[in-house]
Structure 1
Amino acid sequence: MSAPTHTTTSEPFDFARAASLLTDAAARAGAAIMAHYTGGTEIEIKADSSPITNADRDSQAIILEALKVLAPEIPVVSEELASDLTASLGPRFFLIDPLDGTKEFIKKRTDFTINIALVEHGRPCFGLVYAPARSLLALTVADGEAVEATLPPDEAGADLSKLAQTRLRARVADPDGLTAVVSLSHFDPETEAFLSKLNIAERSSAGSAVKFLELARGRADVYPRFGPTMEWDTAAGHAVLEAAGGFAVAADGTKLRYGKTEAGLRNPGFVAWGRKAGASHH
């Protein structure tokens, strides 16, 4: 199905309906994940040596069902369904990670998320990131507009219109000292070298897409990531960050694009930033 370019207000993807349906699904998927979080879960090791749990599978089933209702014609790529990542996806597809930060989940930390994104012509335009252990929901409710809300996991679902929503705005960095957020499990010498060239006053570490949310919420300024990531790890957080006024670029300064089937949907190294203050972002 050919999709129009993402520039007109007559964009047929219905952000409001997507936000509503997927908030409900996220609350239910979050409840399924938290049942395993408190009650214990079986852990298997996948072929790529990463862990998968029943929480991943239960969350995925709920999200896939919601996407079928929302837009049955749009293909879905999920971390746990990913078989052939080199097949053509067309101009428009969903990317989901039903449990981003499985390692953090297994260690009983709170920085794991459900990530749901819509990509159009290489750009993540809709994104939902939900951290059920923190009751933190962040999502795009319109093109270029993102909000956060407190959403406790609930197997009965949730009504977005009844949640108190706060608009997300990335901040312009203070040149006298930036706050960096870095990966908890994947810190490397390249990241250290990158940060050493900036005036970093403070740094924190987190797992999963929570790092994008720190930027989108105006609590941090830069998130460098040079280690391996897949598109479903970043698309939803990237969409929320862009809608909040921030941006992400590949390590070489080009746009971070999605649908890279020639690379098996792997991302290059990238740097995510808050709001630009007219300064160069390199």
Structure 2
Amino acid sequence: MPINQYVRKYVIMNLGGAIHLNKKFCLVIFIILVLYLYLSSFGSRDENDFTKQTQNKVNLKNLLHMAVIAAENGGNEVKNNINSNKIESKGKTKEGADDKVTTADYKSHCIMQGTIKKLYHDIKLISEEFKTNCEGIDLPSEFPSIPREIDALNDSWVKDSDITVWIDPLDATQEYTEKMYEFVTTMVCVAVNGKPVIGIVHKPFLKETYWGWVGTSKSPNLQVKERSDDELIFIVSRSHTGKVKEMINTKLSEIKNKIVEAGGAGYKVLEVIKGNADVYFHTTAIKKWDICAGNALLFSVGGNMTTLKDELIDYGDTENAVNTNGLVATLKKYLNLKKLLI
């Protein structure tokens, strides 16, 4: 019986009506009240301690849900601005190509960042267009309910200080300006302690969203199909080819191979997973927001992505958002690809 009920019962039984309180009775009541206050204080302290332990933690299942919403919200901005785009250049790439940015890049960034930050204020978030002024951005008042396939997953809590979210509000901007919309994606990646754990790649013009949570689950449409052909198909960048073709043809001259050019890092990773290419190969510098989501997708289906030095990419290092050592992305570790590594 709770102490407060015990006190009430004790008083009723012993007081009944009007009685004269003696010193012994008062002492008993005093002791009971002190004990009650002490236990109440103890219980409150436990609850506060629990709050302190959980208030700085994030449920990855819920973050996955919001990341999917963010990618799709950004995709809507990308589609809605195809006829009202202002195209600018942020400068030249090392290969001499224009590094283009559009109105859609900025608007997609603001809605994606705002969607995640609305619930996760303290999470470290890095976006390609992080310098954009998003003041006055209108966010949806309500978000879609959590999909059944995500809701069925177990909760997983991690410290918010261990999380880094990478956003690419419009991957394949060059192709977007050329109306080659099949290459265009919006992407969100959740890294925990520098490792890509959750990846979302959304194709706005095809209304397709792919997600993967490493070691946990993946979206039903993220189906792996490995090629059985002896010919190695390399998928490479249209606008950042660097010396990739020369390297492949020189170092793998004895192996039958084919080189396919495509736009967008997200698109290229999906082509590898779907079995339309064997290897996504890149020799020049590439930003981490371009590859983190695809890296997580590959890991979630048992694939691999490394630099040309055969090193995993650290997504916890936000001071350096550029991977300067190229990359090799495959569903499995081809032994003959060792020849391509530096």
Which range, TM-score by smaller chain? Answer: 0.7 to 0.9
What TM-score, normalized to structure 2? 0.65
CA distance in structure 2 between the aligned counterparts of 1:47 and 1:207, rounded to whole angstroms: 19
CA distance in structure 1 between the aligned counterparts of 2:248 and 2:218, rounded to whole angstroms: 29
Cα 1:69/1:264, change in 2 over 3 Å: closer
Cα 1:190/1:219, change in 2 over 3 Å: closer
Bigger Rg over Cα: 2
CA contact (8 A) 1:144 1:244 kept: no
CA contact (8 A) 2:70 2:116 kept: no
CA distance in structure 1 between the aligned counterparts of 2:223 and 2:337, rounded to whole angstroms: 21
The Cα shift of 1:214 comes to 0.9
Aligned partner of residue 272 in structure 1, secondary structure: strand
1:198-254 superposed Cα distances (whole Å, 9 cap, x missing partner): 434433221112001111223221011012211111101111111121111111112
CA distance in structure 2 between the aligned counterparts of 1:227 and 1:143, rounded to whole angstroms: 30
Share of identical aligned residues, percent? 27
The aligned counterpart of 2:163 is 92
Query: Within 5 Å, which residues of 2 pair with 1:186-225?
Result: 186-194=240-248, 196-198=250-252, 199-208=255-264, 209-225=266-282
CA distance in structure 2 between the aligned counterparts of 1:170 and 1:258, rounded to whole angstroms: 27
CA distance in structure 1 between the aligned counterparts of 2:304 and 2:287, rounded to whole angstroms: 18
C-alpha RMSD of matched pairs (Å):
2.6
The aligned counterpart of 1:102 is 173
Is 1:40 matched up with 2:87? no
The aligned counterpart of 1:128 is 200
CA contact (8 A) 2:284 2:324 kept: no
The aligned counterpart of 1:24 is 69
CA distance in structure 2 between the aligned counterparts of 1:91 and 1:24, rounded to whole angstroms: 22
The Cα shift of 1:271 comes to 0.8
Aligned partner of residue 134 in structure 1, secondary structure: coil
Is 1:226 matched up with 2:283? yes
Look up the equivalent residue of 1:135 and give its one-letter code.
Answer: K
Aligned partner of residue 133 in structure 1, secondary structure: coil
Aligned partner of residue 115 in structure 1, secondary structure: strand
Cα 1:265/1:236, change in 2 over 3 Å: same
> Which is richer in helix?
2
What TM-score, normalized to structure 1? 0.77
Instruction: Number of aligned residue pairs: give it.
Output: 246
Look up the equivalent residue of 1:59 and give its one-letter code.
Answer: S
Higher RCO, 1 vs 2 (CA within 8 Å, ≥6 residues apart): 1
CA distance in structure 2 between the aligned counterparts of 1:14 and 1:204, rounded to whole angstroms: 40
Cα 1:91/1:19, change in 2 over 3 Å: closer
Aligned partner of residue 88 in structure 2, secondary structure: strand
Gaps of 5+ in 1: 1-11, 84-88, 148-164
Select the residue among 301, 306, 312 that pairs with 1:255. 312
CA distance in structure 2 between the aligned counterparts of 1:176 and 1:191, rounded to whole angstroms: 19
